[in-house]
Amino acid sequence: MTVLNIRGKLGLSEVVDTGDSPQEFVGENPRIDNKFEYDIAVIGLGPVGVRTLHNQCISKERVLGFDASESRLAEVSSGSMSLSLLENKRIAHAMGAQLLTLTADPEELAKAAVLIICVPTPVSEANVPDYSPLRDACGLVVNAVSPGQLIVQTSTTYAGATRELIVEPLRNRTLVPGIDIHVAFSPEPANVSISQQKNIHVPRLVGGYTTSCREAAVEFFGHGVFKFQRTYGLEAAEMTKLFEAAFHTVKTALTSEFAQACTELDVPFEEVLESVNLNLDAVAGFTAGSGAGGYELTIGPHHILNQSQAHGLQLPVLEAAVKSNKHRPAAVVERCVRVLVDLGKELSDSKVLIIGLSNYPDTADLSNSPGLEIMSLLLEAGAHVGFHDHHFAGPITLGDTHVSGYPNPHDFGADLIFLNTAHSHVDLSWISMTDTVIDGTYRATGILNRVPL
């Protein structure tokens, strides 16, 4: 088995941050001839971790999936997680081909050349981030690592977390970061599918404890990434990720507000949206819909808000955007009520079909999905709800209710259709001239009885 060379070299007179004062290391760092049983270990099999696991299985490398929860491991191995059919199939194939091993034994982590930490950092009902899963995962990694490994932290967190939870504890083990162990921060890029549709390659953000740490991570990710955005430290990379999440949060809230204003003022928002995007950088393209979805964009802003508030700082623009996005699913349901009233119907007696549950077109990402929140609110109001999304076979469980998916959406007999996410190959030809559709994408202009959200 070929083991990826992650050691790199320290150039002559390269400055390495030891946490005290700059120190020079002259010459090459000593190579440690470790033999690793696995090329990659993914720590934490939540939504981001499983997606990372899936991506690594595609490359057919020897992959180790670690999670402290035996029930989570059982979900992954049985294919019962909320993944697309293709993702579940590829993971099952990798396990059958003995390219993927799942474990809850932290001692196995010492056998992998690269350790990718992907644990969730959830936010409580009071919007306070919970860093205990990340602390626990980093603690397991630090206790298990051996010289020659690369640790890549990908979880969204506060600026300074990677240094505090990995670098400093490694020193306590007398392991020298940048010499014995490489440490980097490199989160998963946001909105990857959208960028691909626009033929734009989103750079992968990489920050290292030292330059050699950063370049070791670049070498590891390099086989599938077209471009990298390098920072000169861990904290700069962590803050860049928080800034990105905050920007998308504010952008989504602002766009949704203009969409609502255009609807009330009878201005064609799809034309406004097209014109705005032509005049602005395509990477910052504006889209409106049912709210901000995805783990990074819903959870990420709270990390910087919490850290800023701890230092006595207020970020009122971001705070307002978070509140606006959180209310957006409720606004969608209110719109459904008004449209149904115009049709002479009550929501509690109506059948509402949701088209597209994913957060973004052509993905199977349901993490903190506005589509799921909309379905829950519709169910609470007494509506009969179904969905159509070829990424999910269904049913999907919301509380005590199982919501069925309809491969043939016409069979549902909807009183109202809500177009939430339009995948690039979605077939809307079944929609009849008498069907009423609320267009949450603001782009389905070819539908006859189309009502903009």
Unique residue bearing structure tokens 């330059």: 211
Q: What is the pLDDT of residues 394-446, one digit of tens each?
A: 788 888 888 999 999 999 999 999 999 888 878 888 998 889 999 988 878 88
Confidence of residue 295 (pLDDT cuts 50, 70, 90): low
Q: What is the pLDDT of residues 324-377, one digit of tens each?
A: 888 889 989 999 999 999 999 999 999 999 998 887 777 777 777 888 999 999
Q: What is the percent of the chain with per-residue pLDDT over 70, rounded to a whole number?
A: 83
Asked if residue 317 has pLDDT above 60, the reply is yes
- Residue 198: per-residue pLDDT: 42
- Residue 59: per-residue pLDDT: 67
- Residue 387: per-residue pLDDT: 94
Unique residue bearing structure tokens 């978070």: 322
Helix-, strand-, coil-residue percentages of the chain, each rounded to 5? 40, 15, 40
Judge whether 220 and 186 are in contact, CB under 8 Å: no
Q: Answer with the residue of higher pLDDT: 418 or 294.
A: 418
**CA 40 to each of CA 234, 245, 308, 368: distance values in angstroms, whole numbers, following the listed order:** 21, 27, 35, 27
What pTM value is reported for the model?
A: 0.69
Asked if residue 28 has pLDDT above 50, the reply is no
- Residue 245: per-residue pLDDT: 83
The H-assigned helical ranges of 117-210 are 132-144, 161-162, 168-172, 192-197
Q: Answer with the residue of higher pLDDT: 217 or 317.
A: 217
Asked if residue 18 has pLDDT above 60, the reply is no
Token digits for 75? Answer: 């979900």
Token digits for 81? Answer: 């997680």
Average of pLDDT values for 103-126? Answer: 92
Q: What is the pLDDT of residues 131-182, one digit of tens each?
A: 999 999 999 999 999 999 999 999 989 999 999 999 999 999 999 999 999 9
Strands 150-153 and 182-185: parallel
Give the neighbor-by-neighbor strand order of the sheet with 204-208: 100-103, 63-66, 38-43, 112-117, 150-153, 182-185, 204-208, 228-231
What does R_g of the chain's alpha carbons equal in angstroms?
Answer: 24
Nearest residue to 334 (alpha-carbon basis) of 370, 387, 377: 377
- Residue 223: per-residue pLDDT: 63
- Residue 337: per-residue pLDDT: 95
- Residue 159: per-residue pLDDT: 93
Q: What is the pLDDT of residues 176-224, one digit of tens each?
A: 999 999 999 998 876 544 444 343 466 888 999 999 999 999 988 876 5
d(CA 419, CA 433): 16
Q: What is the percent of the chain with per-residue pLDDT over 90, rounded to a whole number?
A: 36
Token digits for 331? Answer: 């606004």
Confidence of residue 294 (pLDDT cuts 50, 70, 90): low
Q: What is the pLDDT of residues 225-269, one digit of tens each?
A: 557 888 888 999 999 888 888 888 888 887 877 787 788 788 888
- Residue 5: per-residue pLDDT: 32
- Residue 131: per-residue pLDDT: 93
- Residue 224: per-residue pLDDT: 57
Average of pLDDT values for 297-308? Answer: 78
Asked if residue 33 has pLDDT above 60, the reply is no
Q: What is the pLDDT of residues 77-112, one digit of tens each?
A: 887 776 666 677 778 878 877 888 999 999 999 999
